């Protein structure tokens, strides 16, 4: 009887490496896949010597498994980079990890895994996927400091049915210990989170502008009385709730309250409470465990940014794509473009993109 074949997305980091080891120990036939996501600008990517590829290949050789480098740069450009560019152009602050998980890791890479004959795709995410009432559901990982369920809310049910996440019941220290015990070369390396943007440094918005064209305009910092306090050279550099780096001295700490993409003006305020909102509107919603009927209302706990404390709320389904959440208390810096994700205990119910 042949073993169940699993493709593991191997970034070269310790998490995905240990995920591959654990699955192999559980009796699966494991094959490693390392994605080339970024377009090769000025020879920036060298498949033979790229550090992530080298580390992933070394682990694959140690485990005695196949290893493939898959070029998904075109898909990444269209589904992640261009979406981020469009968000910035409309004064939204995108969450590239949520885009990447939905369209690339559990979209493109899952299709690639199937082309290799894999029955499942596995990753090193710290989340649990468990059967609840006969349905495979997404739950928070055991390690509260590493839980990544927020970033996976957009992965549809039909995709999640073919996903394994062996690290969901581990904490990070245990994963590093396993790596060290097995002599992995990356046992003490830093996390590879957001590695797809590291090659361009922290100014990836400038990379987006250079590649896809202008996405912003200069403007003014103005207060709620219309007084102009300063100017800026591009609104894409600022986000709701931002306090540092504004170059605005109004006598008290200033916060960004609103960004107007039409005029380029940025509304600032010294009243932090005015940047807190209890009503959140969402589009591009994804609900787990079946569709939600339009007009239905239900209770949940929600968060509008990663690692924020979950707060009780009431959600109303407006249509198949839209929903509104009213929170029990105001939340700071509800930011257009970011994602609101909702839970029932540890179980993810779904969420959407904030407008």
Average pLDDT in the 174-190 region? 92
Instruction: Inform me whether the pLDDT recorded for 330 exceeds 50.
Output: yes
Q: Give the pLDDT confidence of 232-278 residue by residue, as tens digits.
A: 999 999 999 999 999 999 989 999 999 999 999 999 999 999 999 99
Sorting pLDDT into bands at 50, 70 and 90, what band is 206? confident
Instruction: Inform me whether the pLDDT recorded for 18 exceeds 80.
Output: yes
What CATH number does the domain containing 318 carry?
Answer: 2.40.30.10
Does residue 100 carry a catalytic annotation?
Answer: yes
CA 81 to chain centre: 13
**Position 211 in a domain:** no
Domain that holds residue 259: 216-270
Q: Which two tokens stand for residue 152?
A: 């996976």
Which residue, 201, 196, 190, is CA-closest to 13?
190
Please check whether residue 5 is in contact with residue 66, taking contact to mean a CB–CB distance below 8 angstroms: no
Does residue 276 carry a catalytic annotation?
Answer: no
**Position 176 in a domain:** yes
Q: Considering the candidates 97, 98, 100, 313, report the single residue annotated as catalytic.
A: 100
Instruction: Inform me whether the pLDDT recorded for 197 exceeds 70.
Output: no
Which DSSP string do the residues of 231-253 spell out, in sequence order?
Answer: EES-GGG--TT--TT----SSS-
**Position 204 in a domain:** no
Cα separation of 355 and 345, whole Å?
A: 25
* Domain count within the chain: 3
218 φ, ψ (degrees, to nearest 5)? -70, 165
Cα separation of 221 and 238, whole Å?
A: 11
Q: Give the pLDDT confidence of 74-126 residue by residue, as tens digits.
A: 999 999 999 999 999 999 999 999 999 999 999 999 999 999 999 999 999 99
**Position 326 in a domain:** yes
Average pLDDT in the 273-285 region? 97
Stated pTM of the model: 0.92
Q: Is the domain of 26 the same as that of 174?
A: yes
**Facing residues of 120 across strands?**
6
Q: Considering the candidates 72, 84, 97, 196, report the single residue annotated as catalytic.
A: 196
Q: Is the domain of 165 the same as that of 287?
A: no
């Amino acid at each position: 009887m042949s073993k169940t074949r699993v493709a593991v997305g191997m970034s070269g980091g310790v998490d995905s490496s240990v995920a591959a080891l654990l699955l192999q120990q559980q009796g699966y036939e494991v094959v490693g896949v390392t994605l080339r996501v970024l377009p090769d600008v000025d020879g920036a990517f060298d498949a033979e010597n790229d550090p992530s590829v080298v580390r992933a290949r070394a682990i694959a050789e140690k485990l005695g498994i196949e290893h493939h480098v898959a070029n998904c740069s075109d898909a990444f450009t269209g589904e992640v980079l261009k979406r981020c560019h469009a968000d910035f152009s409309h004064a939204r602050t995108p969450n590239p990890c949520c885009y990447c998980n939905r369209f690339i890791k559990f979209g493109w890479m899952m299709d690639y895994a199937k082309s290799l004959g894999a029955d499942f795709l596995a990753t090193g995410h710290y989340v649990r996927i468990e059967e609840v009432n006969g349905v495979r559901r997404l739950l928070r990982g055991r390690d509260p400091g590493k839980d990544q369920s927020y970033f996976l809310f957009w992965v549809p049910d039909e995709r999640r049915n073919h996903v394994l996440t062996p690290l969901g019941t581990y904490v990070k220290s245990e994963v590093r210990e396993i790596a060290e015990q097995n002599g992995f070369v990356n046992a003490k390396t830093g996390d590879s989170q957001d590695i797809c943007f590291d090659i361009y440094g922290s100014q990836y918005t400038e990379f987006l502008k250079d590649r896809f064209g202008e996405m912003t305009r200069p403007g003014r910092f103005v207060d709620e009385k219309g007084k102009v306090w300063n100017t800026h050279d591009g609104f894409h550099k600022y986000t709701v709730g931002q306090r540092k780096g504004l170059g605005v001295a109004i006598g008290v700490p200033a916060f960004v309250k609103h960004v107007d993409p039409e005029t380029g003006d940025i509304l600032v305020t010294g009243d932090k409470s005015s940047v807190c909102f209890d009503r959140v509107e969402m589009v591009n919603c994804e609900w787990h465990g079946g569709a939600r009927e339009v007009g239905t209302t239900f209770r949940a706990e929600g968060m509008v940014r990663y690692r924020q404390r979950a707060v009780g709320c009431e959600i109303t389904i407006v249509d198949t794509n839209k929903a509104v959440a009213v929170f029990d208390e105001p939340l700071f810096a509800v930011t257009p473009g970011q994602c609101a994700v909702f839970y029932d205990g540890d179980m993810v119910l779904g969420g959407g993109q904030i407008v």
